[in-house]
Copies of this chain bind each other. A is one copy, B any other.
Amino acid sequence: MNSLTEENYLKAIYKLVAGEKGAVTTNAIAQKMNTKAASVTDMLKKLSDKKLINYEKYYGVKLTIKGEKIALTIIRKHRLWEMFLVEKLEFGWDEVHDLAEQLEHINSEKLVEQIDKFLDYPKVDPHGDPIPDSNGKLQIQKSALLSTFKKNEVCMMTGVVDHSPTFLQYLAKTELTLGSTIKINDINDFDRSLQIAVNKGKAFFISNEVAKNILATAKQ
């Protein structure tokens, strides 16, 4: 097993790698972890010995498959706990992060799976961040809710939040389907409803409620 500190370093490295293509630097990790470079170097040696990272002195660090899997299971736990706090315990999204940072280190496979089931297997958290599956695999790309895009932005639909037949049948009546190109023509300030054009076709309106249940990634 890995210590709480090791888990936090792995998570920090994972998140830094996501931003950059190359390796992650010691200083970047130190900043993210609120520690000093010297402490990071010590930990990198340790994680390297455990084969959780590939570490090249003075160059940088990448996660191994093993290390990435651990990072992803922690992120899975973090996002499931956030969902749980918001959906079941009346927490606001702005107040769950720090608490989830504690809960993500609770060590029980069964607990995670039961929480997942209790939440009815969510695929994304309401930030649009995908929740890794129990094997540490991201089933979907990191997407944002359509409701978070700005006027004149163009994006591609990647998924839905609400999987109910009602919602999917509604979508079927429009051109909105996986892979559709969506342009935000206008946003109504009053009710946050959107005027959108799908696949460069005729523009139409969708409510904020609908927009909040559509996932998309920015195009270009």
Contact = CB atoms under 8 A, between A and B. Distances in A.
Contact of A88 (B91, B102, B118): B118
Interface stretch (A28-36, A108-116, A148-156): A108-116
Interface residues of A, number: 17
B102 A114 contact: no
- Number of identical monomers bound together in the oligomeric complex: 2
A139 B19 CA distance: 53
A89 B85 CA distance: 14
Nearest to A111: B99
5 contacts: A88-B118, A89-B118, A90-B114, A91-B114, A102-B107
Given A90-B114, A95-B110, 9 more contacts: A85-B111, A89-B111, A89-B114, A91-B110, A99-B106, A99-B108, A99-B111, A102-B107, A103-B106
Interface pairs A-B: 7 shortest CB-CB: A89-B114, A99-B108, A102-B106, A89-B118, A99-B111, A103-B106, A90-B114
